[in-house]
Chains A and B, each alone.
Chain A
Amino acid sequence: MKSSIRDVGDVRIIELSGKITIGAGDVKIRELIGEAIEDGKQDVILDLGGVTAIDSSGIGEMVACYTTVTKRGGQLKLMHLSPKITDILQVTQLITVFDVFDDEREAIGSF
């Protein structure tokens, strides 16, 4: 998995690409969220536009990060989900947990 980060105002945008799977990308997400918190960024958008595959460990890590950010008074939102990742979130009803956006400006404006 590859990642890049940028800030738009107070919002940290984390762009992810490749596979978010056990033993690889799942731990990396946790580290990126930890960095955002250390940098004082409470509101985070995970841009999954470049993600080709995700497994239950990757999904679980996203859920754990959602909990971590929420407990600190921030919000974690998702952007640019592929149809398959949308399916994966829908079958476990996690699509009802995360705010999901296709448009970056709309996502940033939602905080």
Chain B
Amino acid sequence: MQANNKLTASLVMASRFENIEVAERTLLDLCGRAGCKADEEYWLLTALREALANAVRHGNRQNPDQVVRVFLTIENSTATIRVEDEGDGFEPANVPDPTTPENLLRPSGRGIFYMRQFMNRVEFGPTPTGGTAVVMARDLDQPDSGRS
């Protein structure tokens, strides 16, 4: 998997929540190989989990016949996660701010907010087939051989 200091993995998963853990384990493996610090690993996993939950629930509406594609890369001290669904696309600007007083007690609507909090860059765009692709990147501290 490791070549020229670049670590990559890709997955194609049926739209089931239980598959989120498979992607988590793959990211954990990459983080371990890259020497990511424990804190970074935790927030990367958190962001990945949110992106996948959105793709399965909102993008593909839990239709197991539609797939979610995951691309994970750690290169040059940056971790990048790309998640694609096969849904109808959506407009992230329409998602209300969950921290405003009127939204504070809403039971949903925090996933994208968390992704933006715990990653340095988050961008949404359409896939060629009309679904949604989210690309998230986090700048890593200098990798080391151990966990903090």
Q: Chain A residues in contact with chain B, CB under 8 A?
A: 21-24, 53, 55-57, 59-61, 63-64, 66-67, 84, 88, 91-94, 97
Contacts and interface: CB of A to CB of B under 8 A. Distances in A.
B104 A93 contact: yes
Nearest to A23: B17
Given A22-B53, A92-B98, 15 more contacts: A22-B57, A23-B18, A53-B45, A53-B49, A55-B46, A55-B49, A55-B114, A56-B108, A56-B114, A64-B107, A67-B105, A88-B46, A88-B114, A91-B117, A92-B99
Chain B contact residues (Cβ within 8 angstroms of A): what range? 20 to 34
B105 A63 contact: yes
B105 A66 contact: yes
A91 B114 CA distance: 8
Contacts of A21: 20, 49, 53
Given A21-B49, A56-B108, A97-B104, A92 B113 contact: yes
Contacts of B110: 56, 59-60, 92
A55 B111 CA distance: 8
Contacts of A59: 110
A63 to B, nearest CB: 5
14 contacts: A21-B53, A22-B20, A22-B49, A23-B17, A23-B20, A24-B17, A55-B53, A56-B110, A56-B111, A57-B108, A64-B107, A67-B105, A84-B42, A94-B104
